[in-house]
Amino acid sequence: MKLRHYHHHLLLLLLCCSFTETIEPISTSIAVGVAAALTGFLARYQNIFHYFQECCRPEWISFNKTALQADLESKLFGQHVASRIILKAVNGFMTNDNPKKPLVLSLHGWTGTGKNFVSGLIADSVYKEGMDSRFVHVFTSELHFPHASQIDNYKSQLQQWIKGNVTNCERSMFIFDEMDKMHPGLIDSIKPYLDYYDKLDGVSYRKAIFIFLSNAGGDSIIQTALDFWKEGRNREEMELKDLETSLSLSVFNNKKSGLWHTSLIDKNLVDFFVPFLPLEYCHVVQCALSAMADRELEPDLKVADQVARDLVYFPKSERIFSVKGCKTIDSKLDYYT
């Protein structure tokens, strides 16, 4: 036993000696090697935990323009105007190292036209974890701020949340769903964060992204789309300028929409108003086909056509636009397949 042990050591010594004189430098160089490797590793992922757990660093947060462009082209149907604005706006903002204010997008349009869906695509292109990221926050008036009587509590709570989250990570994203149902006072309370301030109480909000979703202005967008259709013009010819005036007027003048009361608009805090067009039969077919693909089903045009034909369209006489957009398509598939 002992002899064998001794032999083993000798063998090791011989082996080592063919490279260096003594054992000492070897163990030292191994130590140095290990240390170097470790330092290299740690330098890359300064804290090893950041490798496994999401943190506010480029490993987890970095904008991929190619991915956003590809997603907008292949997954979003019938929204050529919105698609163009969003790609330009997000790319411009994310590639600017020193933005003067946070990015504020206001998405408008009829129900089921893809406003929440696009917010998800934007989140996917910025955060590795997409909508599941702990730096993406979604507020819904009915869920987070249901009681008008508690508005003062909500105000200070919301301000604390925004401040706290941006202090944790300047690349935070805040999505306000159903903005038109939001109490005007609540919208007013977040106004300072959207403005051109270098810092507020030592916190800079200039790298944050705010996205407002609402149906406000949806009617005027539909009217413009309908006018195009009646004139026999191609939907794809529609440009932002065709929609912009009527959109801002209707958002402005609609006393029911919270935006109307606030100075979000007159202080130019919203960088882009993004119109979402009502969806037509052919877009619904595309939605059905992609819902099948998501379920790893064989795309079946017959089924997609059936799903689309069974939806309700408006105006009653012409039956052009889907009343629910592409909403409920996914659940309808259960019924048809």
Ligand X SMILES: Nc1ncnc2c1ncn2[C@@H]1O[C@H](COP(=O)(O)OP(=O)(O)OP(=O)(O)O)[C@@H](O)[C@H]1O
Which residues of this protein are in contact with ligand NAG, per CB under 6 A? 64, 66-67, 70, 137, 160-161, 164-165, 168
Tell me whether residue 77 or residue 176 sits nearer to ligand X (CB atom).
77
Contacts of 197 (CB under 8 A, 6+ apart): 101, 205
Buried b (16+ CB within 10 A) or exposed e, 120-153: bbbbbbbbeeebebbbbebbbbeebbeeeeeeee
CA distance 42 to 29: 19
Site residues (vs ligand X, CB under 6 A): 76-79, 109, 111-117, 213, 215, 279, 287, 325-327
Rounded to 5 degrees, φ, ψ at 136 are: -110, 125
Tell me whether residue 104 or residue 126 sits nearer to ligand NAG (CB atom).
126
Residue nearest to ligand NAG (CB): 164
Name the one range near Mg ion by CB under 5 A: 108-116, 248-256, 283-291, 310-318.
108-116
From residue 276, give the alpha-carbon distance in Å to each of 31, 196, 332: 61, 27, 23
Structure tokens at 170: 């300047």
Q: Which does 39 bind (CB under 5 to 8 A by kind): ligand NAG, ligand X, Mg ion, none?
A: none
Minimum CB–partner distance for residue 177 and Mg ion (Å): 6
Minimum CB–partner distance for residue 89 and ligand X (Å): 18
229 known member of a binding site: no
Site string for Mg ion, 109-148 (x = CB under 5 A): -------x--------------------------------
Structure tokens at 41: 């590793």
115 known member of a binding site: yes
From residue 293, give the alpha-carbon distance in Å to each of 131, 238, 297, 299: 21, 30, 6, 6
Antiparallel, parallel or unpaired: β 313-314 and 173-177: unpaired
Number of chain positions touching Mg ion (CB under 5 A)? 1
Tell me whether residue 251 or residue 279 sits nearer to ligand X (CB atom).
279
Q: Which does 257 bind (CB under 5 to 8 A by kind): Mg ion, ligand X, ligand NAG, none?
A: none
113 known member of a binding site: yes
Annotated binding site: 109-116
For binding to Mg ion (CB under 5 A), which residues are involved? Answer: 116
